[in-house]
Amino acid sequence: MKAIRLSVAGIALLGLGGAALSQTGSTVRTGKAAYGDWHSDAPGVTRKITLGDLSIPLETPSTANRSKVVAKPADAVLKAPDGFTVEPFATGMAGARVIRIAPNGDIFLSQSAEGKIVVMRAADGATKPEKTEVFAEGLNRPYGIAFYPPGPNPQYVYVGETNQVVRFPYKNGDMKASGAAELLVPDIPVGGGHWTRDVQFSPDGRTMYVSIGSGSNVAEDLPPKPDLAA
């Protein structure tokens, strides 16, 4: 196997059909019309808000308008650009996070909350998978999925768990791992709420990239800066 350098850096499935979308027909809303919510959103709509469009600070009372999950109305449909349609491909996939396509066309999906990787197989143009299997389970919030080596005949599936990177033996067409997980990168830093670990390889397969995120959103609770004058 080639030597690999490790570089650490800080679902609904859509079915699309029709002609490619042209962006020349986009609608740009300006001034007061640039403000709005989902009622006025649509594919191709953009909003240009300038400094002069902003309200004066404290012009209106401060308030919180938080989102909440509601049941889907029976007649609700997603808006799509002209020539495109959107429909559910796979449902009931709790905790679905990342989709990666194997060289043979199988669809790998990480279900982080469930601790597993599933594989779906569907014919070209199919609106539903014809077969779904659990490739691996018992994982610690799996997220990233990568095939190694890059190219048409990978030998391994790499999975980024929240605290480590493992790999499973693989050949095209496998829908279940043929062997146990092999630990490659242990003790990835955890904490701060950013738990997703994506995994990617360089085109030549010599470098593996693993994302670990930052310790917080706005540097809260980070250690103090050193006194450089001391």
Q: What is the mean pLDDT of residues 89-108?
A: 96
Q: Which residue has the higher pLDDT, 223 or 90?
A: 90
Q: Which residue has the higher pLDDT, 124 or 220?
A: 124
Model confidence at 4: pLDDT above 80: no
Confidence of residue 222 (pLDDT cuts 50, 70, 90): low
* Residue listed under structure tokens 């997703």: 196
Nearest alpha carbon to residue 214 among 230, 190, 183: 190
Between CA 95 and CA 116 the distance in angstroms is: 10
Pairing of the two strands 145-148 and 131-136:
unpaired
What pLDDT sits at residue 9? 41
Model confidence at 230: pLDDT above 90: no
Model confidence at 22: pLDDT above 60: no
Between CA 14 and CA 119 the distance in angstroms is: 16
Model confidence at 12: pLDDT above 70: no
Fold held by 1-16+90-230:
Thrombin, subunit H (2.40.10)
Q: Are 105 and 120 in contact (CB under 8 A)?
A: no
Residues in the chain, total? 230
Q: What is the mean pLDDT of residues 13-42?
A: 66
pLDDT digits (tens, 9 = 90+) for 133-161: 999 999 999 999 999 999 999 999 999 99
Q: Strand (E) positions, 5-61?
A: 5-9, 27-30, 45-48
- Residue span(s) of the chain under CATH 2.40.10.500 come to 1-16+90-230
Question: What is the amino acid identity at position 100?
Answer: R
Tally Cβ neighbours within 10 Å of residue 167: 20
Between CA 148 and CA 114 the distance in angstroms is: 24
What pLDDT sits at residue 15? 42
Model confidence at 100: pLDDT above 50: yes
When computed from its CA atoms, the radius of gyration of the chain, rounded to whole angstroms, is: 23
Tally Cβ neighbours within 10 Å of residue 70: 6
How much is the pTM? 0.75
DSSP-based three-state secondary structure for 224: coil
Pairing of the two strands 156-160 and 165-169:
antiparallel
